[in-house]
């Protein structure tokens, strides 16, 4: 190998290493972005769950109040049902987004998060449709 050939080969090798490093860095940035997105979505989901819990407590108070003799306000009940439906929907959608980013799916049997390529749930044994 002549000196010129050596320099050329060396330059090519350096370029290809640089390329690999660049790709790894890009994928690390992407991974970091995904983790931040998962954290953000999880926070939104926890907030929605807390809101839903508060409404469930209100609903329970109304029902128990009725049992204890208070008049049950249908309007309040309907409002709470609608809010609960919408919060439940919101939580499900956030769960789907989080599962997609994590490359997991939710077991229909037990609700646990399972790797996407599993055929069975390792927690409850439910079989997944392909």
Q: Which of 11, 14, 73, 124: binder of Zn ion (CB under 5 A)? A: 124
CB of 86 or CB of 113, closer to Zn ion = 113
Question: Would you count residue 105 as binding Zn ion (CB under 5 A)?
Answer: no
Token digits for 103? 């490359």
> Which of 80, 85, 87, 88 is CA-nearest to residue 62?
80
Provide the sign of the torsion angle of the four alpha carbons 44, 39, 42, 92, taken in this order. positive
> What does each C-alpha distance from 70 to 54, 63, 79 come to in angstroms?
20, 9, 18
- Closest to Zn ion by CB, 59 vs 126, is 126
Asked if 62 touches Zn ion (CB under 5 A), the answer is no
Q: Which two three-digit tokens encode residue 62? A: 């109304």
98 binds Zn ion (CB under 5 A): no
47/130 Cα distance (integer angstroms): 33
Pick from 109, 116, 119, 129: which binds Zn ion (CB under 5 A)? Answer: 109
Min CB(51)–Zn ion separation in Å: 27
Q: Is 94 in the site for Zn ion (CB under 5 A)?
A: no
By CB under 5 A, name the binding residues for Zn ion: 107, 109-110, 121, 123-124, 126
């Amino acid at each position: 190998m002549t000196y010129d050939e050596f320099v050329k080969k060396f330059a090519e090798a350096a370029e290809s290493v640089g390329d690999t490093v660049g790709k790894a860095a890009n994928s690390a940035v992407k991974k970091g972005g995904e983790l931040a997105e998962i954290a953000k979505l999880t926070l939104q989901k926890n907030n929605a769950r807390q809101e839903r819990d508060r409404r469930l407590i209100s609903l329970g108070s109304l029902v128990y109040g009725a049992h204890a003799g208070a008049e049950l306000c249908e309007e309040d009940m309907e409002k709470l049902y609608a809010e609960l439906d919408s919060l439940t929907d919101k939580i499900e959608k956030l769960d789907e987004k989080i599962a997609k980013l994590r490359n997991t799916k939710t077991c229909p049997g037990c609700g646990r998060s399972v790797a996407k390529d599993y055929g069975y749930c390792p927690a409850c044994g439910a079989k997944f449709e392909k």
